[in-house]
Amino acid sequence: MSVEIVVFAILALMAVGGGFGIIVTKNPFRAAMWMVLSFIGSAGLFVMLDAVFIAMLQLIVYAGAITVMIVIAMYTMDRLTIASLKRFNNQAYFGALFGIGILLDFIVIAAKLKINTAQMGKNLSIAGSNVKAIGDVLFKSYLLPFEITAIVLLIALFGAVALTKKDL
- Residue 134, burial from CB neighbour count under 10 angstroms (0-12, 13-18, 19+): middle
Choices 27-35, 60-68, 75-83, 154-162 (CB under 8 A): range interacting with another protein: 154-162
Query: Smallest gap, in angstroms, from Cβ of residue 165 to another protein?
Result: 9
Query: Smallest gap, in angstroms, from Cβ of residue 25 to another protein?
Result: 31
Q: How far apart are CA 51 and CA 44, in angstroms?
A: 10
Q: Is 148 in the site for another protein (CB under 8 A)?
A: yes
Site size for another protein (CB under 8 A): 20
Residues within the interface to another protein (CB under 8 A): 139-145, 148-149, 151-152, 154-156, 158-159, 161-163, 168
